[in-house]
Structure 1
Amino acid sequence: MILTLSHQKGGVGKSTVAWNLAVYFSGIMDTRIVDLDTQRSLTVTNALRKEHNLPSIKMIHFNTAEELAEYAAADSDDVLTIIDSGGFDSAFNRIAIIASDLLITPVSDKPFDLMGLQKYEEILKSLSVIQGETIKTHVLFNNINPAMKRFGELVDFICTSEHFELMVSILRQRVDIAHSVGEGKSIKEYRIFSKADQEMDDLIVEVKSILNIK
């Protein structure tokens, strides 16, 4: 199975979400991370994990898009590959989108995120034409102000596009998130039963349901 955190816009929280999902699923099945981010954020985070004597996660890097395509072609249900794509359009990221069993696109409530989502929709449209099927991503509200209850035109846009499906889970701004990653930990490892942990648990349950992981 391939799960990709994908958005052509950077700074939306793809790496943080990918990391927390990877740490959790590595405890119940063979899980790998493909780090396509040019900053190699998760590779650095994994190194911090080793420094804190925590079990590391298998990291995979590819030199060419063709290598990624070959890896994806050999995908199996026994292994979960989580791809942290870069915040830009590229051959690497387009292959990840096409190969994925589940796409997750984090967005915040900021005005620029609506514009970014509109541009990302154009990428999904063009790939759908090439593939001959509608490619859909699950949109995750991430880094949301805890007091925010309504999302206005962003929800309207998401619900009217055939390429987007809004996730039930919402991840809000929590101090624990930044602190946990800084130690190479998941939110649960950093502070169990916190609000951030509970919200991540909700996301994990939703992802397991979508991918039919028991």
Structure 2
Amino acid sequence: MTIYVVANCKGGTGKTAIALNLIPHIQPDLIIDADAHKSITFLLETANSLIELRQAKSKEDIIKWCAEDKTILIDCGGFDSAITRYAISQADFIITPTSDDPTEQFGLVVFNDVLKEVSKMVDCHLVANVLLNKVHHSRTNFNDFKETLKSLEHTNLLNVVIPHTAAIPQAAFKGEAVKSGSLPIKFENVIKTLI
């Protein structure tokens, strides 16, 4: 089975919103909440979700649960921790939301260093699939952002851009993914691009 990890060491990048909107396209058997704030847990409880949900309290939880023969989605917190690092180490695909804001680009530099260290730990070159998120609808040129990523050996920019929109938090308040318009297609394309 496949393990998808949504991670970025910087807070506020939209990790939980991205994870929530990937659920219909991944159709996970298990969701692991690796965030101390338990955001995805609260959202899915609001929706009375039937997907199995577990809250990781240790790196041992991550290792044990990722050994199960299940399609797993892990939502990480916005900080560097042993739980986040072990989640990353188990990933088949790492999805890293970020906006095109310069401060978030600095966060990617830090995350690249984390990926470098975890890559050494597992003796495998790990790559974060960077997903531009919360982008103003008029922004179409990302050359400056691409230049930053060129120097980061553990990142790959996805060709999908998630715009800043009220639809995502409106759906999230119900514990749901966005179900109409072009957004579900964008999230489906994220998974298609990875696979």
* Same structural fold, with TM-score higher than 0.5 when normalized by the shorter chain: yes
Who is 1:157 aligned against? 148
How many angstroms apart in 2 are the aligned matches of 1:62 and 1:175? 30
- 4+ residue segments displaced more than 4 Å: none
- Equivalent in the alignment of 2:190: 206
- Aligned-pair CA distance for 1:204: 1.6
Select 2:41's aligned residue among 37, 40, 43: 43
C-alpha distance in 2 between matches for 1:179 and 1:202: 17
- Quote the Cα distance in structure 2 between the aligned partners of 1:203 and 1:6: 16
Could you tell me whether the CA contact under 8 Å between 1:169 and 1:199 is conserved in 2?
A: no
The reply to whether residue 107 of structure 1 matches residue 101 of structure 2 is no
Is the counterpart of residue 98 in structure 1 residue 89 in structure 2?
A: yes
SS at match of 1:105: strand
Cα deviation for residue 209 of structure 1 reads: 4.8
Residue 20 of structure 2 corresponds to which residue in structure 1? 19
How far is the alpha carbon of 1:86 from its aligned partner? 0.6
* Contact 2:66/2:72 (<8 A) preserved: no
Distance 1:11 1:100 in 2: 22
Per-residue CA deviation, residues 52-76 of structure 1 (Å, 9 max, x unaligned), is xxx53221123321121122233x3
**Alpha-carbon deviations, 1:174-211, whole Å to 9, x = none?**
111111101122101xxx1x2xxx23323323314523
| Contact persistence 2:56–2:83 (CA under 8 A) | no
Q: Aligned equivalents of 2:186 and 2:21: distance in 1?
A: 12
Structure with the bigger percentage of helix: 1
**1:22–1:32 Cα contact (<8 Å) kept:** no
- Aligned partners of 2:171 and 2:22: how far apart in 1? 13
Distance across 2 between alignment mates of 1:178 and 1:136: 28
Code of the aligned partner of 1:69:
I
Q: Deviations over 1:109-150 (max 9, x none)?
A: 111101100111111111222222211110000000001112
Greater relative CO (CA pairs within 8 A, separation 6+): 2
CA distance, structure 2, for counterparts of residue 122 and residue 62 of structure 1: 23
Moved more, 202-211 or 33-42: 202-211
TM-score (norm 1): 0.84
Identity of paired residues, percent? 26
Amino acid at match of 2:124: E
Q: Secondary structure at the match of 2:71?
A: strand
Unaligned runs of 5+ in 1: none
CA distances 1:94-122 after superposition (whole Å, capped 9, x unpaired): 01101000000001011110110011111
Structure 2 unaligned spans of 5+: none
1:9 partner SS: coil
**Equivalent of residue 69 in structure 1, options 63, 70, 84:** 63
Bigger-Rg structure (1/2) = 1
Whether contact under 8 Å (1:22, 1:31) holds in the other structure is no
